[in-house]
Homo-oligomer: A and B are copies of this chain.
Amino acid sequence: MVDIATRVWNHKWKIDPIIRSLIDTDFYKLLMCQSIFRNKPDTEVTFSLINRTTSVPLADLIDEGELREQLDHVRSLSLSRGESTWLRGNTFYGKRQMFRPDFMEWFEGMRLPPYHLERKGDQYELTFEGKWHEVMLWEIPALAILMELRGRAVLDRMDRFELQILYARGMTRVWEKIETLREVDGLGIADFGTRRRHSFLWQDWCVQAMQEGMGSKFTGTSNCLIAMRREMEAIGTNAHELPMVYAALAETDEELFRAPYEVLSDWHDEHEGNLRIILPDTYGTKGFLDNAPDWLAGWTGIRIDSGDPAAAAEVAIDWWKSRGEDPKQKRVIFSDGLDVDKIIALHKQFKGRVLPSFGWGTLLTNDFRGLVPDDALAPFSLVCKAVSANGRPTVKLSDNPNKAMGPQSEIDRYKRVFGVGDQDRIEVEV
């Protein structure tokens, strides 16, 4: 029997919205949003889309009108009552009332601020300006929308069975990864794949496949909406935008030098336990740890998001030892460009020496490499970053010069202040 009402309803939609909820975003954005809401509520920032894979001509692939419709739709969203209840009532990382009443009250009334969209050659210039804690909530929806619209442009040309086989192949690939990973003793993996996912439905499928296939080795998802619907752990702590904006706000080189530690000091006041995860690479991992205050060595762990992950983990292990800490008790979260082989190699290398865990992103939720002609569905490196704060440009160095961003003069200044020397270039794929 055809459900006539459903069929008619489906055909009434003007668009097929990619983002349908304000919590279809990474959990750490909400944690950081609350932190900024408390500590830096007056900071004005600009976030900007950056397509590192310039060979993907987004403006040729994606119709500007369709992009605007999707972005406009996100601006129409507000937190639903059930979403608010979930955020208020849930236990995150073992803690009740993670989100404070004043923050929740503000979040319930929040709408995303305007965007600025302009075509520049074969790329789009997409920027967001305003209060930091509002603008920063654009990052994940903007990325997810662009990734999915680019995918739709390719899928539009495919026939019905071609589509079914495409997804059959994609599913088989994900499942084969799961079949390999679930054999690895002691593994712990979370889904970090929201921002560069193939689509929402695909991410949701991948998460469910991980849940059935990996059992307790699957530790949760960074996506709040999926975590809520599937009754899973929402996973995530903090990201580069905190030290980048704090650093841009610094008035002097001395303040600049202290800025990354100030971020973590604010975080230390707010969070404990498994949320105390250091993200050390914004201005070079080595120097950051060498100059870190002692209380930071007491934190639960570290997240490694650029450079050679094994080398960075070794740096962290040496640092903990030098501060009298036992690395065996420390969490090391690998989250940069992971796929099965890298996960297994890192797990093997660090199991027993630290507590390794994995935030698996793009190659979990968007591995369509090689499945269509011209590899037109392969994931690519799209980011949406804070590029200025209170009128001053931000800078990111990271442990890989290919991930560095900011004006060259400022990059040079930051390198001097943070004592960053030569770095190995590593190709950025996803």
Q: Is A172 an interface residue (CB 8 A)?
A: yes
With contact pairs A172-B168, A175-B165 given, residues A159 and B212 touching in the complex (Cβ less than 8 Å): yes
Segment among A1-9, A120-128, A240-248, A387-395 that sits at the interface with chain B: A1-9
Number of copies: 2
A161 contacts B213, CB within 8 Å? yes
* Complex Cα gap A429–B208 (Å): 38
Q: Does A171 contact B (CB under 8 A)?
A: yes
Interface residues of A in 172-225 (CB under 8 A from B): 172, 175, 208-209, 212-213
Q: Encode contact with B along A1-42: 1 for CB under 8 Å, 0 otherwise.
A: 101011001000000000000000000000000000000000
Q: Is A164 an interface residue (CB 8 A)?
A: yes
Closest CB in chain B relative to A203 CB, distance in Å: 15
B175–A171 CB distance below 8 A: no
A81 interface residue, CB < 8 Å from B? Answer: no
Does B172 lie within 8 Å of A165, measured CB to CB?
A: yes
A398 to chain B, nearest CB (A): 36
State in angstroms the CA–CA spacing of A167 and B172 once bound together. 9
For the complex, what is the distance from the CA of A130 to the CA of B213, rounded to whole Å?
A: 52
A151-168 interface with B by 8 A CB criterion: 159-162, 164-165, 167-168
In the bound complex, how far is the Cα of B213 from the Cα of A1, in angstroms?
28
The verdict on A369 contacting chain B, using a C-beta distance below 8 Å, is no
CA distance A169 to B208 in the complex (A): 18
Q: How many residues of A contact B (CB 8 A)?
A: 21
CB distance from A191 to the nearest CB of B (A): 15
Query: Which of B1, B164, B169, B213 touches A9 (beta carbons < 8 Å)?
Result: B1
A9 to B6, CA, bound (A): 18
A6–B171 Cα distance when bound, in Å, is 28
Q: Is the CB of A1 within 8 A of B3?
A: yes
Docked Cα-Cα span, A113 to B164, in Å, equals 41
Report chain B residues within 8 Å CB of A212.
159-162
Scoring A9, A171, A209 by chain B CB atoms within 10 A of each residue's CB, the highest score goes to: A171
Residues on B with beta carbons closer than 8 Å to the beta carbon of A5: 1
Give A367 Cβ to nearest chain B Cβ, in Å: 14
Chain B, residue nearest A2 (CB): B3
B172 and A172: CB pair below 8 A?
A: yes
Enumerate chain B residues within 8 angstroms of A159, measured Cβ to Cβ. Answer: 212
Name 18 interchain pairs, CB-CB below 8 A, sorted by A: A1-B3, A1-B6, A1-B9, A3-B3, A161-B208, A161-B212, A161-B213, A162-B212, A164-B171, A165-B171, A165-B172, A167-B168, A168-B168, A168-B169, A168-B171, A168-B172, A169-B172, A172-B172
